[in-house]
Each structure stands twice: as structure tokens, then as C-alpha cells.
Amino acid sequence: MLNVPVIKPLLIFVLSGNKSLGSKDEIHCPSGSFVFLSNTPEIAMRNVPNDVNYFALLIEFEYSDFDCLKHRTVNTDTYFQGQIEPMLEQTLQQFVEWSAFSPPDMWYLRRQEILQVLLSLGFDQVEGIMEPPTLSHKVYTIIREQISSDLGAEAVSSMLGMSESSLRRKLSAEGSHFQGIKDKVKLGYGLHLIQTSFSPIGLIAEKCGYASQSRFTEKFKQLFGITPTALRKTRVSVLGE
């Protein structure tokens, strides 16, 4: 899969098998290791396929999670890697167990614990892995939170307290544009539904705001390099093994 957007800091724990990712450079993550990806706007992750199945846990961090860190540094790297040491493994297990019964609005406590454990293990890079939200990030968040509303540029610019022309100009200065962000939100949600449900592709297309399954499939393949049906087949195959 190509161009999977990383909008917020993303921590990937590879628990079995081997995982390869790609941004500007290919990243290899063997079993028992982790990679922490920054929310740098230009990051677009790609999954590099291989013949070995892998199992990984992904944790997306909120910007406010990093308030627990006393020191913040300027981000110089788009990611850092390390081994899942016993203390980190125990913290991860507690996070999984906690999320099974605690309300989602309390999960930040465990996410902050993970950040602090990484820092205590010597991964100082965690203090600079998060970049302040850009305008692109803010637009992405607004659209994602109201994905069923099919918001246009005029509505989003109003929510941000600026004119539509200012919104488009500032997004362009960041190397982005409104429709591109909107497509990533809608298709990213479609990707989530394909990977986490057995809903028909046509229904998923409808939930993502597309009038037809064919249009959804076309846009999905353009962005991710694979059709929704082909991706669904690989998921079913893995589940059946």
C-alpha cells in the first residue's frame, strides 16, 4: 500500500514477523522492535509487502499527550526505532488491558505513560517527535470529525475564522491543498473500515461520501496503489490462515 498518511505521531510495535515501511527511506522493523513516526506533514507511509505475515500494534498519539514531558526539543528526525525492552513491554500490556475496560477519554493517561517510559529508557527523540499542528493538520481534523457532513472549503474556512481564499493560499504555502486533504480523510476512513469490518465495499463508499462504488475504488487505488476489493481479499486470507 502506498501513501498511507501519518497525521498524528504514530507508534508501531512489531510483535511478530517482520514489518517494512517506507517514507523517504525504507524502514525495517523486525519482531520485538518499534518505530515511532513523527507527524511531519510530508510523511506518507507505504507498507512494503513480503512473504511473511506480521502482527503489529499501532498507537496514535494526540498532541496534548506530549504535555507530560518537561522538555520539548525541535524535531530533527521523522522517526526513531528501538527494541521492545521488558519495561516497555509491560507498559504496552497494561495499555492494552486498560483500554479494554476504561473509557476512551482516559486512554491518554496510558499513552503519556508510554512516552515517559520511552524517555526513561534513553529515547530522548520522543521529546521532539511531535511537530505543532499545521493548518493542514487542523483542516484534516475538522473534516475527519464531521466526515458524514461532506464539508467544503467555505465551511471549513469559516470554522477556522478565515476566508476561503486565505485558507487555500496558506495550504498551498504548506505544499498542500484542500481537496487533497479531503480525499485523504475520506479514503483513510475507508481504509479503516475495510481493515476493521466486513461491510460491503459499496456501503463503505457511501459512508465515505462517495456517490458510487466505482468512484471510491478509482480514488482509493490512486492513493493507496491497491483496490478496496484486493485489500479486503488479503485481509480475509490472513484471517483464514
Distance separating alpha carbons of residues 90 and 42, to the nearest angstrom: 33
**Cell numbers linked to 143:** 473534516
pLDDT of residue 235: 56
Please give the pLDDT value at position 150: 81
Position 238 scores a pLDDT of 40
Average pLDDT over all residues of the chain: 83
* Residue 181, burial from CB neighbour count under 10 angstroms (0-12, 13-18, 19+): buried
Residue, of 105 and 170, whose pLDDT is higher? 170
Average pLDDT over residues 146-171: 92
Segment 41-65 mean pLDDT: 68
Range 195-221 average pLDDT = 90
pLDDT value for 119? 94
- Please give the pLDDT value at position 6: 67
Q: Is 212 within 8 Å of 175 (Cβ atoms)?
A: no
Q: What percent of the chain has pLDDT over 70?
A: 84
Average the pLDDT over 205-219 and give the result. 90
238 vs 241: CA distance, rounded Å = 5
Q: Express each pLDDT in 128-144 by its tens digit.
A: 888 777 898 889 889 98
Residues 6 or more apart whose Cβ sits within 8 Å of residue 124 = 73
pLDDT of 87 over the 80 cut = yes
- Which of 101-110, 144-153, 160-169, 215-224 tops mean pLDDT? 160-169
Average pLDDT over residues 190-201: 86
Give the predicted TM-score (pTM) of the model. Answer: 0.69
Which pLDDT score is estimated for 236?
Answer: 47
pLDDT-derived band at 4 (thresholds 50, 70, 90) equals low
Q: What is the pLDDT of residues 33-42, one digit of tens each?
A: 999 988 765 5
∠ CA 68-118-27, rounded to 5°: 120
- For residues 9 and 146, what is the distance between their CA atoms, to the nearest angstrom? 21
Give the chain's domains with CATH numbers. Answer: 4-128 (2.60.120.280), 135-240 (1.10.10.60)
Is residue 189 scored above 50 in pLDDT?
Answer: yes
pLDDT of the residue at 47: 54
Query: 179 pLDDT exceeds 60?
Result: yes
